[in-house]
Structure formats: structure tokens, C-alpha cells
Amino acid sequence: MKEPIYSTITCIPGSKEKLAREHGYHNEICEDTAASAINYILQYGLKPMILRGMVICGNFNYEKLYQMAQTLQRCCKENDVMFAGMEIGAQPVNFDVDTYHLNVTVSGVADSCNYLDRKYIQEGDILIGIETSGMDGVNYPMLKVMMDRKPELIHTKVEGDTSLLDLLLKPNRIYTKAAEALQEYHCVRALYRVNNHLFNEKLWRDLPDGLSANIELSALPIRPLYQFLHDQDMVGEKVFQYHFHMGVGMIAVVPKECADQAMELIGRTENCWRIGRIVKNEGENGKAWKSLETGELKWK
């Protein structure tokens, strides 16, 4: 590489880890945390190169720890990332027997010419939402309040024989293949990892001045998980879209003329939808995330 750019991120699962630990979803939380770290690197056009896990725990079950490490190793193998192992910090004085805290560190690199600089986003660019199967940890304080009010929800069947608990602890998708395909064919300007909701101010703050993201939620199919949470009527329909990402884990910003090709490339490995476009921002302060248009959700 002529001008290599490096980046390293350490991700912790947050509130989602507590729910996973209490109900025995140890492998799922490892995969989910690896996904968060790898996707963070991917969104800037870097290639994830090396992953390292760490678990701090009391006298936790050795076999379960071994399976957690194998899960991280599998994620690495599937995404062509070197696995640097999972360190175990045993601290029985500070942690109970069944308690642990997990973190995953990923380092990536790219030549500066392949870095996805969001300053090149233009008016008319198309927004493609890429599906994920899980929720981010930032959603779990809200979910905890809902389940504290209605404890019976956690084991309610939501999608066939799949319970709410199973759906809440599904790992997020890892987008290595889709991201690399978009870059290989030079049909992407930016990638945004969504970790809260589609209208999160932090998500869009680095759009070029004078531009905003016009998101049409009506383009998204309503998945059973979100329909179920909506039907509990504990959040409020008007603000529901500001608490959940509706199943979109990453947004690709692509030139209008490349939109069909980008959809085909992403569709080889992931479900995706056109969910909006980049428009001129007519807002008072010119900040992109101040003038987002919501569209309408198609609730049943």
C-alpha cells in the first residue's frame, strides 16, 4: 500500500450481554459483538485484518468459555480475518461464578485511495438499507423496561416457534462480503453502520453541509419482531421509529447510476431495500440530520 490507513475498535455488548448471560446465549453474544466490531471497520472501507476477544470472569464454566472462543474463531474464518485468540482474565474476587464481561477488538487497514470518505456524498445518491437479524445493545434499556412491565413477553412465541427472547438475542449480520463487493465494483460512496435507529443524529452528522438523508420507512417490510413490539403499545407509534432500526443494520450510499448494480451485489449475500436518497437540506442550520423525512410505516 502506498498510504495505508489503520483503525482499531474495541466493542462491548452492553445491556444485551446481561440478557444473554442470564439466559445462556453465550455464543450468540460473542458473534454479535464480533459483528459490531467488524462492521465498524467495514463502514470506512477498511479490510478487517485481526480480531482478538477478551473475557473477564469469575470461575466461569470452562467448556462454555471454549465454545465462546470457537464462535469468535468461526466468525473470523467466515470473514477472512485472523483470529488472535480470546484472553480469559479470571477474577473470582471481583466476579461471581456465572458472571463475565466480554469485549472484542478488531484492527483493519486500507490504502488511502480506498477509504470511504463521506465528504464525497452527493445530492441524488441512493440509500440502500441492508437487513440485519439482531438488535444493537443500545436498544436493550428500552426493551428491559417493556419486559419488566410485562414479564410474560420474554417467552411469548413471536415468529412460529421462535420466542421473543430468541429474536432479541439473535446476532447481528456481518457485512464483509457485501461491503467488499461494493468496493470492488466502485459503486459505493459511503457505508453507515446503524446501531440505534435510522434517524440517530450521530449517524448522519458528517454528511456534507447542505445535504440530508430523506428516508422512506414505507420501503421497509415490517418484520414480526417489530410488529410484536409495536403491538404491545408501550412505546407509542409516533416515537417507535426513534427507538428501533426496524431491521436495518447498515446503509449503503451509492451513486444513482449504480443503484441497480449495488442492489444486485448486496443481494448476493444479504437482503436489502432502497430506503431513500440524499437531497438538499432546506433546514435552517444546514445540518443533514435536522431535516430527515420519515415516510410511513406499514403496520398491520
Q: Return the exposure string of 152-191: e unless at least 16 CB atoms fall within 10 Å of the residue's CB, then b.
A: ebbeeebeeeebbbbbbbbbbbbbbbbbbbbbeeebbbbb
pLDDT at 141: 84
Nearest to 144 by CA among 300, 15, 280, 282: 15
DSSP 288: G
**Higher pLDDT pick, 293 / 154:** 154
pLDDT at 249: 96
pLDDT at 21: 92
pLDDT at 205: 87
Which region among 36-50, 120-134, 269-283 has the lowest average model confidence (pLDDT)?
Answer: 269-283
Which tens digit of pLDDT belongs to each residue from 142-166? Answer: 888 888 999 999 999 999 999 999 9
Per-residue pLDDT for 168 more than 70?
Answer: yes
Instruction: List helix spans (H) across the chain.
Output: 15-23, 26-42, 62-78, 140-149, 164-168, 176-184, 201-204, 224-231, 237-240, 259-267
Q: What is the pTM of this model?
A: 0.93
Per-residue pLDDT for 294 more than 80?
Answer: no
Domain span(s) for CATH 3.30.1330.10 in the chain: 4-114
Per-residue pLDDT for 252 more than 80?
Answer: yes
The distance between the two most distant Cα atoms of the chain, rounded to a whole number of Å, is 60
Which tens digit of pLDDT belongs to each residue from 37-68? Answer: 999 999 999 999 999 999 999 888 899 999 99
Laid out side by side, the sheet with 190-193 consists of 190-193, 248-254, 126-131, 272-280, 211-215
Q: What backbone phi and psi angles, to 5 degrees, belong to 5? A: -115, 130
Q: Which amino acid type is present at position 40?
A: Y
Q: Which residues contact 143 (CB under 8 A, 6 or more apart)?
A: 135, 168, 229
Per-residue pLDDT for 183 more than 80?
Answer: yes
Per-residue confidence at 298, pLDDT binned at 50, 70, 90?
confident
Per-residue pLDDT for 286 more than 70?
Answer: no
Q: Which CATH fold topology does 4-114 show?
A: 60s Ribosomal Protein L30; Chain: A; (3.30.1330)
Which tens digit of pLDDT belongs to each residue from 191-250? Answer: 999 988 888 888 888 889 888 888 888 889 999 999 999 998 888 877 888 889 999 999
Q: Which CATH fold topology does 118-290 show?
A: Phosphoribosyl-aminoimidazole Synthetase; Chain A, domain 2 (3.90.650)
- Chain length of the chain: 300
**Integer CA distances (angstroms), 87 to 33, 52, 68, 83, in order:** 15, 8, 11, 12
278/127 Cα distance (integer angstroms): 7
